[in-house]
Amino acid sequence: MKRILMKLLMIVTLLIYGIPGTVQASVSVSARSAILMEQESGRVLFEKDAHKVSRIASITKIMTAILAIESGKLDEMVKVSDRAVRAEGSSVYLKPGEKIRLEDLVYGLMLRSGNDAAVAIAEHVGGSVDGFVFMMNEKAQQIGMTDTHFANPHGLDDHENHVSTAYDMALLTRYAMNNEEYKKISGTKIHRAPNPTETWDRVWKNKNRLLTEKYKYSTGGKTGYTKRAKRTLVSTAKRGDFEMIAVTLNAPDDWNDHIQMFETAFSDYDIAEILSKGKVDGIKESQYKTKVYLDHSFVYPLTSEEEELVRVEYRLKKLGKDQRDLQNQKIAGRANVFLDDKQIASLPVYYKLEEKEQKSFFDFFKNIFTSIAGVKDHG
């Protein structure tokens, strides 16, 4: 009986506190869909219906912003059309016919969620709104956003098939945050832009209250709201070398949802460097010993319990005794990283020829050439 009671107690404890090493059970969010992803590895630390297809409102503008940035046209002047000015909802109050730098439009898009800015960007970068929407969906496919379809550049509820998921929006944000210009704009609290018909500048304060007042580790993001999508939010945070992305869809208490996800992960996880860039030690094969290296490191968020479950397996090609089988910086094999029994990474292992080996290669081919050419030493 005592043993049965102990088992029951253990089951109840797991149900209440969750399995060790996961954020999942200790986070409760108001959102219908949510996800927390680590930036460097892409590891999902928490999710709730993260693949549920939903309306996304203005977090759409993350895609609009990154396409504008990648166009290489940020310094170009954009002539604002009547269609852009007539865009419904949130606005930066552009004037028909005015000329404004594309870079300023992106700031207005991200900080103030200007729908007029979104249309002006789309027309300039894509040639038309339809042309830009095509670009949005092409980029979504490239990033791997398999459950996403864009129908406009701003996220308004004017199309039934303008949808995505929390997971897909985290993928998009992870991609965008690798761009330094996007990272800077997303994390800007206040931006000033020229106002062509006034003596004073436009001053845009970021609507993301996590960034401006609520959370000291916030590094940026994008807010969203429509009547049908409800509150949507993408935010990023960084503490030390630990960077994360949080996404919530249809979340009445989104600010606190994001803070809770970030704080729980910062508490439960550390960024561990599992593989270091440079020479690989511990290789026993004589042909590879002290001569193989990794061209980049591998880091991964782990709980203290998980650190004991990580192992690395090196799979190197078997070679004959002929040194000609080796070429400078040729991939010699793979370093496979496992967390428990699940493979989480596979990095190429390179072989580096020593200087004397490079010389022997040169002499080998020189001798072949000399033999073929019939060159003789006449002394």
Is residue 144 a contact partner of residue 171, using CB atoms and an 8 Å limit? Answer: yes
Q: Report residue 93 CA to chain centroid gap.
A: 31
Amino acid identity for residue 277 in this structure: K
Q: Report residue 367 CA to chain centroid gap.
A: 51
Which residue among the candidates 33, 48, 54, 58 is catalytic per the annotation? 58
∠ CA 91-92-93, nearest 5°, is: 90
Whole-angstrom distance, CA of residue 115 vs CA of residue 127: 17
- Checking DSSP bridges between strand 298-302 and strand 310-316, what pairing results, if any? unpaired
Across the strands, what pairs with 373?
none
Nearest CA to 314 out of 288, 295, 341 is that of: 288
> In the numeric block, which tokens belong to residue 188?
């800007």
Would residue 346 show up in a list of annotated catalytic residues for this protein? no
- Indicate the DSSP class of residue 327: -
CB-based contacts of 89: which residues, under 8 Å, 6+ apart?
115, 154, 156, 226
Which residue among the candidates 90, 113, 218, 235 is catalytic per the annotation? 113
Would residue 113 show up in a list of annotated catalytic residues for this protein? yes
> In the numeric block, which tokens belong to residue 244?
């994360």
Where residue 329 falls (left for φ over 0; alpha for ψ -120 to 50; beta otherwise) is: left
Which helix (DSSP H) or strand (DSSP E) does residue 101 occupy? strand 99-101
CB-based contacts of 110: which residues, under 8 Å, 6+ apart?
61, 65, 185, 186, 188, 206, 222
Which residue among the candidates 33, 48, 54, 61 is catalytic per the annotation? 61
Would residue 33 show up in a list of annotated catalytic residues for this protein? no
Whole-angstrom distance, CA of residue 85 vs CA of residue 79: 11
Is residue 271 a contact partner of residue 287, using CB atoms and an 8 Å limit? Answer: no
CA distance to 11, 15, 149, 305, per residue, from 19 (Å)? 10, 8, 35, 11
Active site residues: 58, 61, 113
